[in-house]
Amino acid sequence: MGKFEIKSTSTGKTMFNLKAGNGQVILTSQSYASKDGCKNGIESVRTNSQTDAQFERKTAKDGSPFFTLNATNGQVIGKSEMYNSTAAMENGIASVKKNAPDAAVDDNS
């Protein structure tokens, strides 16, 4: 079972990682000024991760595939790691879709 981990950044803001059941980070958020903003971001991931159109598939300058998860207003909610293949990236998207709705929240901030 996946989980969201909230943590503090070195600049005093908060952010979260969505981790799969095996502990691997599958989505990383932006930094939020407040913990409430961070929690709202988590709820946005829960909602938007169930709509495939909210995932934007991209390619980094070095050719590595990655994705962002966007809110309905187009704002990026979270970003994946760089993958070594398109198939691996698609597996990452599937993992976010599977884990996000019911993931527990672990507040380590």
Domains parsed from the chain with CATH numbers: 3-107 (2.30.29.80)
* pLDDT tens-digit series, residues 25-69: 999 999 999 999 999 999 999 999 999 999 999 999 999 999 999
Q: Could you please report the per-residue DSSP string of 28-50?
A: EE--BSSHHHHHHHHHHHHHHTT
| Averaged pLDDT, 93-100 | 96
CA end-to-end distance (rounded Å), the chain: 21
% pLDDT > 90, the chain: 97
